[in-house]
Amino acid sequence: MAAPLTLRDLHGRVMRDLRVSITDRCNFRCLYCLPETEEAANFYRGKFDALKNPQPAFTPLVREWKAKSALLTYEEIERIVRVAVGLGVEKVRITGGEPLLRRDVPELVARLAPIAGIRDLAMTTNGAYFAPHAAALRAAGLRRVSFSLDSLDQDNFKRITGRDGLRAVLAGIAQAKELGFAPVKVNAVVIRGLNDHELERLAQFAREQTVSLRFIEFMPLDSGHAWLRDLVVPGREILARLQARFDLCPVVSDNKSETAKRWTFEDGRGEIGIIAPVTEAFCGHCNRLRLTADGKIRTCLFSLHEHDLKPLLRGGATDAELAARLREIVLGKEDRHHIGEPGFEQPERTMSCIGG
């Protein structure tokens, strides 16, 4: 019997994880993604001056969102997911922008949840609108959720996100736990001089709330193209600080494609993880693809090229033709990103447009 068709690239990696962005819109203006507030501009200008950085003065951009007609319909998203799952994808994550800015998201979840072969259906959200939708999402078949939470200080939260939304995010996390989403994950992007002083406090939050908190290195995916290597807090530095404060036990995983290195607290309450794509790249085991809200496949978070599936979806292509195109795209997946290398070029699209 012939081996089943899979999404295998030229480096031997098999794609099992599909991130599906359903909107490029976001209600937050985070410094590391959409730094489009005056406070964000002041933060970066101050860093440029302090570091005598040769970059031009930072200017917030005016965001132009995709028209509704440019976005994939839920039917189109479902079709791509079904084809991808037929090729071996097992994990599907709904992302944005902020996914809950799109209407009727539980309807999409209800379409995806029954697809045979999906063993993990999750969502990443900033949490601002999660609590009102949580029960419907759970009933529709969503099983896991990850929240963005970069600060536990109300003023610093507003400084980072441009919004006064800390209470809403904390309420969303509490609601997710109450409804049985498991595990509940929390992501914190760490930026030197902005929120690195909160590392221990965030870790303590993970222990107290029995959630899994991921510390993520600051990556060059912001709309202002203002990323500075000096603002990256290396994963090893994060770990050293946490080990100095807490008794941590390493978690051994057989999953080579896992992006986070993980530790549990000695008493077993909560978990912390460190995702270090800048200083400890894990490209060699990457098994992810990303589908943007407007129907383009990205083979790497830092891809400079995208592959548009809309002409096939809206041009009468069969599922077999769509599958063949996906296999062709994956063959060209990059061997690695090039952050820190001479000539590195930041993608034109920001994280909010790519999908986390």
The predicted-structure confidence for 207-261, as pLDDT tens digits, reads as follows 999 999 999 999 888 777 778 889 999 999 999 999 999 999 999 988 887 889 9
Residue 311 lies in a domain: yes
> What is the gyration radius of the CA atoms in the chain, in angstroms?
20
> What type of residue sits at position 244?
A
Name the token pair of 315.
């041009």
Q: 51: pLDDT confidence band, cut at 50, 70 and 90? A: low
Name the token pair of 41.
């501009």
Residue 355 lies in a domain: no
Q: Which residue has the tokens 């599936």?
A: 309
H or E segment to which residue 13 belongs: none
Tell me the percentage of the chain whose pLDDT exceeds 90.
71
**Mean pLDDT value across residues 272-301:** 92
Residue 1 lies in a domain: no
Q: What is the CATH number of the domain that holds 172?
A: 3.20.20.70
* Mean pLDDT taken over the chain: 91
Residue 272 forms beta bridges with which residues? Answer: 213, 263
Contacts of 294 (CB under 8 A, 6+ apart): 24, 66, 70, 71, 72, 310
pLDDT, tens only, 110-145: 999 999 999 999 999 999 999 999 999 999 999 999
What domain count does the chain have? 1
Residue 9 has pLDDT above 60, yes or no: yes
d(CA 116, CA 90): 9
List the one residue out of 290, 283, 233, 289 whose CA is nearest residue 259. Answer: 283
Contact present, 257 and 286 (Cβ < 8 Å): yes
Least confident of 241-255, 312-326, 338-352: 338-352
pLDDT, tens only, 326-336: 999 999 998 88
Name the token pair of 207.
């222990």
Name the token pair of 239.
């770990």
Query: What residue numbers bound the domain in which 310 lies?
Result: 17-341
Residue 175 has pLDDT above 90, yes or no: yes
Residue 9 lies in a domain: no
Residue 36 lies in a domain: yes
Residue 222 lies in a domain: yes
